[in-house]
Amino acid sequence: MALQRDRLTLNTELRHLSIKDRIQLSTILDIDHNWKLLAAIIPKPDGMDGSLITSSNVKVLEDLLKIGKSPTQALLDFWGTSGRKRATIEDFIKLLNSCRLYRASLFLCNDILKLESFDHLIDINCSDSYLDTESINKMTNNLNLNTKGNTSFGDDKSFAGKGFSELSTNLCHQPMDKMDAKNCFLDPSAPNESLISFSTLEDNNAQNIVNENIMQYSYEEIRRATNDFADHKLGEGAFGAVYRCRLRRDSDFIAVKRLKSDFQKQFLSELKVMTKFSHKNLLSICGISCDGPSLLIIYHYMSNGSLQECLEKRPQCLSWSQRLAIALGTARGICHLHTFDAKPYVHRDIKSANILLDNDLNARVGDFGLVRVGSGADNTSTKPLATTIIGTTIYMAPEAYRGDISVKLDSFSFGIVLLELVSGLKPYDESREGFDLLSYVEERVADLDEEDERSIVRTIGDQSIGPLDERIAAELYRNSRKCVEQRKKYRPAMTEVLQSLECLERN
């Protein structure tokens, strides 16, 4: 849970920094790849010997830049949730000072913590307050790091003799003109790459996956129907853009996902999963195109768009009974993923933007490019760490950053979706206190009796759709609160959540 700035202290765990503050720190540390200097000296947690970040981790972090994501953001997420004794803001400042990343440490002291004095934390004139150049170079060499643009790092004395107020003014607030736009993590509600998790589903080629029931479309035909992918763009994520088109005037609309060139694995993963199941609450595939410069997946077009879009732009279209129906449909789709095979499939990116609504407002879960085989609800062990975990930060359970993939990840994400249905609020909004929805709601209800769900929903319930249905809203909130339990072992599986929602529907 992110805390408001006025509640932060040096002893606050790093993971409680708000998304907005981490974004601002990322814009500082992504410059000239300064995050690599920090990565080189982060120790293992709980007093263990060695470094937390390995050379393979660094390679994964570097790859985030290729898709416009911030390696600093992922690094802080992973470090902040590692170990039993979590890193604190003071730990962060000390390491920043050790490798002379004063701009970031001053930002923490002055802008975030608003300390009146921090000479004891950042003594730039003390030779013992930072590692010598040879030590840091040795660490970075051990990780095979190439820190672009840091040639003057070891001899930087430019801070010596300056007052802290001058440093704060000149450094913490200087413009980001050196910042490449692609290195800046701007949208916390968009897919965000964190550090590490399972390997992807087995590599295969499309022809080995496609069966006779899947239609293969001509790339050229779809290119013409979308006016060379210039018209009717529905949205864009980390893996590619989605377009609406129809191939003939008398045909139904279809949705076409055009994948970016770097994401063939995601194409094959999504295709492999989607050919395994058929369920009315999971988005079905119409066909594919493999004969052009880009891989395409064709879906049925959902005329009412995503749940996120509907809540933001047309909330009056969703009555309380319809919101319950959408929650039920989504839960049924997720449960099918978790139970249709001997091993559960974990979606890993459940969010309102991936819940699509058809003409009758029936919910269908989409976007299966991140699905992985995971552990079941009763398995609390952590899976081996391997390649990359991708998800959406504000929907991600704490254990996701440690590479623990189980069906409980989807339970946590579904809990945030339920909060959206109850409150009608955006999952992330910088204009309110508590930028992410979970933090905002927890702040709003902090002084209320947590067992009195009806009083709580009278405080946070969506008032834009007429009279509040306290019974439905309270039950949705109760299930949400269970789903967002920080400890995985106390979080319900989706089958349990579905039973609770079905009981509400019957009564």
Q: Where are the domains of the chain?
A: 5-186, 206-300, 307-506
Counting as low any pLDDT under 50, the low residues of the chain are 125-133, 136, 147-204, 212, 380-390
pLDDT of residue 263: 64
- C-beta of residue 112 within 8 angstroms of C-beta of residue 8: yes
CATH assignment, 5-186: 1.10.533.10
Residue ranges with strand state E in 181-317: 192-193, 215-216, 233-236, 240-245, 254-259, 285-289, 296-300
In the annotation, is 21 catalytic? no
User: Radius of gyration of the chain from Cα atoms?
Assistant: 24
pLDDT of residue 265: 64
**Which residue type, as a one-letter code, is found at position 397?**
A
DSSP state of 280: T
pLDDT of residue 267: 66
Cβ-proximal residues to 471 (8 Å cutoff; 6+ apart), any chain: 504
Cβ-proximal residues to 470 (8 Å cutoff; 6+ apart), any chain: 454, 457, 458, 461
Angstrom distance (rounded) from CA 489 to CA 193: 25
Angstrom distance (rounded) from CA 55 to CA 144: 7
pLDDT of residue 202: 39
pLDDT tens profile 319-347: 999 999 999 999 999 999 999 888 899 99
> Which structure tokens are listed for 291?
């004969």
Angstrom distance (rounded) from CA 403 to CA 422: 30
pLDDT of residue 196: 26
Angstrom distance (rounded) from CA 492 to CA 398: 15
| Domain with residues 307-506, CATH architecture | Orthogonal Bundle (1.10)
Q: From the candidates 21, 30, 77, 349, which is the catalytic residue?
A: 349
Hey, is 402 helix, strand or coil? helix
Q: Which residues pair with 233 in a beta bridge?
A: 243
> Which structure tokens are listed for 119?
């000479």
CATH assignment, 206-300: 3.30.200.20
pLDDT tens profile 261-290: 766 666 666 677 777 778 999 998 888 888
**End-to-end C-alpha distance for the chain, whole angstroms:** 34
Alpha carbon separation from 456 to 3, 420, 439, 451, 487 (Å, rounded):
20, 14, 15, 9, 23
Hey, is 148 helix, strand or coil? coil
Alpha carbon separation from 428 to 1, 81, 308, 317, 437 (Å, rounded):
13, 21, 11, 22, 6
pLDDT of residue 353: 92
DSSP state of 20: H
Residue 43 has φ and ψ, to the nearest 5°, of: -80, 160
Helix or strand run (H / E) with residue 360: none
Residue 257 labelled as part of a binding site: yes
